[in-house]
Structure 1
């Protein structure tokens, strides 16, 4: 019946498998190689991060450059108008002109610049008497203009409906001062705005860029979007004035539409006007290919993986497959004593070839030594069997001589003594016959020998020569020769006494029962031989201390056996129990 496979056995198998896996040469080589590659991997990781940072810097520079290129027309226009306003401011500040002279200058400026909608001097109180319109203008009060008169500085803004031209105009204002440093006012130039990007095909917009220009106060000057409002392309809560005086700025943000955008802020006129470009993911994809980022990040891992694969493949090809083949041949030699040659050993490294040569030489030597030992053992067994055979023949010869002597003796007592001596000799001859007939010279099947000894029982030795009913109950018991001979002699003497002193039982039948049992007591094996015979009411065992009894005691002493006698009714039993002696070669 198969033994059930328990959870404990499964856990032990998993633990054993895990231990073997950890102790395998491939795992150890992979671990050591990983340690060896760790510094190189760290250096490669650092280089990868550096490459990614360089790529990110290149991306920023590329986005900044493309944003600057897109707003370059706007920058040139503003730079030109700001230069015109600065020139007029210097002219008006250096000369004390009348209103008519000032107006004539403004008209000439208007004539030379077709896009100009208005040119004039804005005095404190938002009044312009000198302008290209030739009349006085009262502009609406503006908190921003009042602040500028308090702190005069250049100013650029956008007005969707100019007060003079009533057109969407860009306004450029520049302060002018008299010789004493007093503020005369602001030279103001307004010009019609044009779309931020011209659709003349000169720009590749990728279809995913939005632009906005703003002044130093965060006011929007111009915008461009592929579609919809500019706010859809900007992050929530973006404060444009925060980018003033910051130089080039680059960051990634989420727009109000939920799209991830690349934000680039570049100055158009530093300190005055700035441009913000909102770029979609297509800009990132065109600037740096995804395979480059992936390969850069995976390079250290791929380097480690390639190193492990190369090492394991080389280890398997150069070492492990030859070791496995050598191990298989060793197991075959251990199980079948067959030295199998290897066809692939010529490809193995010289060290493994040397080990293979040592194994083959050792195997050949072992086979020769085993053959010599087998021959020696065979010769010894033949010699011992011949010795036992000759001893058996000599004992049988002695038994025949005793038998011849019995025929010449007339005294019944002498005949009985010679018969008993003949039985003892025959018993010893049976032991030696069993020794040379057994395949092994170190073990004897005593149950077989016991059957032969019982078969030799001569009923003529019983009182009145009455027939004997013999029964056997025997286990298969194998003993050493050192225990077989004494036990055989005990059996012979016990059977002789049973026939000599036994008799018919209450049922009138002479019975003889022989039992041989092998039992386990703790961790020891014991053998028990019991010979039981029937007795009549007046006889018993050998209570007179005859030679047979003394021989039984002597041979039992050689076995270190426990000898017990018992009498129950018409049954007398002799029991011999001793410990089985295992074979221990000297």
Structure 2
């Protein structure tokens, strides 16, 4: 979840969100306009479908119109000539035509007066003739067997009038296979099917034959109802359940209509779903393009430069960039100013760091020199005291000078430790005490004395190291002075322990010496103390802020001091 929130806080993601919000109204407008445009395109497409439907049946329409025109012309001729001449004229007409197989003139009473085949008969009882009479104008009908030809034909009836009186009807028969062949040629690879239906709802001709017309005509609308939908387009399921678009156009005005049946996907998008949905994808493409441009623009113009700057800052923070420069690749002017500011900052900080390092080196040299000179001066004072002790006339004066010399050597040793350590601000307490123990004990000539030390390394600042060294010097002097052989026959022993607790910062100094038969000669003058050492130790304990304890037992003497390690406090006494 935290990682997801971090991703949402990224600049490209926020920019994409803001652009999406800004483009949302435009997307809605584009969708609305696209929907309207698509609706208009569908209306235009349906109008085009109507035109294509009517154009696809043009040859059959021309054939039927040719038959109607011929029937009208023959009707004007046959009504005024004798029967024999009528028959001869009709026979000559049929012989001159390739598209017609029969023509006849029937009186209004139903009597076939003359025909191209020279036969006469009474047609008044036939349904086709009665439907022609019921119609006020020309009619087009289809029959599986003509009354004279006995063949499947399309019959065109045209009324013959004189002075407003109905005399009869001219009938011309067109072979049904010829009409089907003409309309069958209209079938295209895009799934177009045609059917010609008269006003009575009879299917005159159809693509693939009238028997197959039910498969591509509307399942919910009968042929008779289709004849009443002339000039309209609509969508419905065909007899096979396939969604199709239907266009009902005029075939013969008042007599027949042509029905075009198209697959819905072809009719609406021209056979290409991609082209149909292309207008709707414009808002999505616009949004995606905006997002890609925004993302790569921010990535190119901002993010990569910020990443480079961040990397340089990290390197500088880790010390890997010493006065170096960053060079951005064609950044915007605002980031160019940031680049210049960063380079100036790096340069100034590098110069300041170099100056600081130089000052630090100078101070280090001076501090080492101070400690070295202090150590030399203290050693010089100690040497002068040693010379004075040799020339002292009384043992008391010699002891006092030797005591002072010992304390001066302790201070000199501390300063030597300070200028020889890398830090120069702290000293290793273990190393300092080890040197002091060696300095105190090397002046003794007691072969039976064993000195043991267990010192824990602890860093001390001079304000604690000096009193600790003084305390050790005084305590070691007393331990050496009063150390003796125990009664069990073992050798005399002095044990110095320095323990430290890192958790509590407490330090403990423990000095233990055995008691018994004295090692030093019994010199009454030497055994007399002036009490200065104890006074100094008490003052140094107070300076350390520690607490001391003493165990004065017959076989050993133990001195211990506990104090807390402190940091350096400037100006503290």
Residue 579 of structure 1: CA displacement? 3.2
**Is the counterpart of residue 530 in structure 1 residue 516 in structure 2?**
no
Verify the 8 A CA contact 1:565 1:573 in the aligned structure 2.
yes
Q: 1:430-441, aligned counterparts within 5 Å?
A: 430-441=413-424
Verify the 8 A CA contact 1:533 1:572 in the aligned structure 2.
yes
**How far apart, CA to CA, are the structure 2 residues paired with 1:271 and 1:413?**
158
**How far apart, CA to CA, are the structure 2 residues paired with 1:329 and 1:265?**
77
**Is the counterpart of residue 222 in structure 1 residue 208 in structure 2?**
no
Q: Give deviations 1:276-328, integer Å, cap 9, x for gaps.
A: 23346996699466664465444444434444444444444444444444444
Verify the 8 A CA contact 2:508 2:561 in the aligned structure 1.
yes
**Quick one: structure 1 residues 520 and 103, their matched pair in 2 at CA, closer, same or farther if it must change by over 3 Å?**
farther
Q: Give deviations 1:498-556, integer Å, cap 9, x for gaps.
A: 323443344522222222233233xx4333333333334999xxxx9954444334323
**Quick one: structure 1 residues 470 and 157, their matched pair in 2 at CA, closer, same or farther if it must change by over 3 Å?**
farther
Verify the 8 A CA contact 1:211 1:225 in the aligned structure 2.
no
Verify the 8 A CA contact 1:173 1:186 in the aligned structure 2.
no
Residue 452 of structure 1: CA displacement? 0.7
**Residue of structure 2 aligned with 1:581, choices 535, 541, 566:** 566
Verify the 8 A CA contact 2:312 2:321 in the aligned structure 1.
no
**How far apart, CA to CA, are the structure 2 residues paired with 1:167 and 1:200?**
19
**How far apart, CA to CA, are the structure 2 residues paired with 1:571 and 1:226?**
136
Match of 1:480 in 2: 461
Secondary structure of 1:167's match? coil
**How far apart, CA to CA, are the structure 2 residues paired with 1:211 and 1:200?**
7
**How far apart, CA to CA, are the structure 1 residues paired with 2:343 and 2:255?**
93
Match of 1:248 in 2: 232
How well do the aligned residues superpose, as a CA RMSD in angstroms? 5.0
**How far apart, CA to CA, are the structure 2 residues paired with 1:563 and 1:271?**
134
**How far apart, CA to CA, are the structure 2 residues paired with 1:495 and 1:176?**
158
Residue 427 of structure 1: CA displacement? 1.9
Deviates more, 1:215-224 or 1:404-413: 404-413
**Is the counterpart of residue 520 in structure 1 residue 502 in structure 2?**
yes
**How far apart, CA to CA, are the structure 1 residues paired with 2:19 and 2:333?**
23
Verify the 8 A CA contact 2:207 2:213 in the aligned structure 1.
yes
Q: Give deviations 1:327-349, integer Å, cap 9, x for gaps.
A: 4444444413523345656x433
Match of 1:6 in 2: none
Verify the 8 A CA contact 1:55 1:288 in the aligned structure 2.
no
Secondary structure of 2:545's match? coil
**How far apart, CA to CA, are the structure 2 residues paired with 1:119 and 1:341?**
111
Q: Give deviations 1:71-93, integer Å, cap 9, x for gaps.
A: 2244445567778999999x9xx
Match of 1:5 in 2: none
**Residue of structure 2 aligned with 1:303, choices 260, 269, 286:** 286
Match of 1:450 in 2: 433
Verify the 8 A CA contact 2:59 2:183 in the aligned structure 1.
no
Q: Give deviations 1:352-377, integer Å, cap 9, x for gaps.
A: 33222222222222222223322332
**Is the counterpart of residue 407 in structure 1 residue 387 in structure 2?**
no
**How far apart, CA to CA, are the structure 2 residues paired with 1:281 and 1:368?**
80
Verify the 8 A CA contact 1:245 1:270 in the aligned structure 2.
no
Match of 2:324 in 1: 340
Secondary structure of 2:502's match? strand
Verify the 8 A CA contact 1:502 1:534 in the aligned structure 2.
yes
**Residue of structure 1 aligned with 2:49, choices 42, 52, 63:** 63
Match of 1:500 in 2: 481
TM-score w.r.t. length of structure 2: 0.75
Secondary structure of 1:278's match? strand
**How far apart, CA to CA, are the structure 2 residues paired with 1:516 and 1:470?**
14
**Quick one: structure 1 residues 239 and 228, their matched pair in 2 at CA, closer, same or farther if it must change by over 3 Å?**
closer
Residue 475 of structure 1: CA displacement? 2.9
**How far apart, CA to CA, are the structure 1 residues paired with 2:107 and 2:535?**
158
Verify the 8 A CA contact 2:327 2:339 in the aligned structure 1.
no
Q: Give deviations 1:20-63, integer Å, cap 9, x for gaps.
A: 54444333344434444444444444454455445444433333
Q: 1:367-446, aligned counterparts within 5 Å?
A: 367-409=350-392, 411-446=394-429
TM-score w.r.t. length of structure 1: 0.74
Gapped regions of structure 1 (runs ≥ 5):
1-10, 92-98
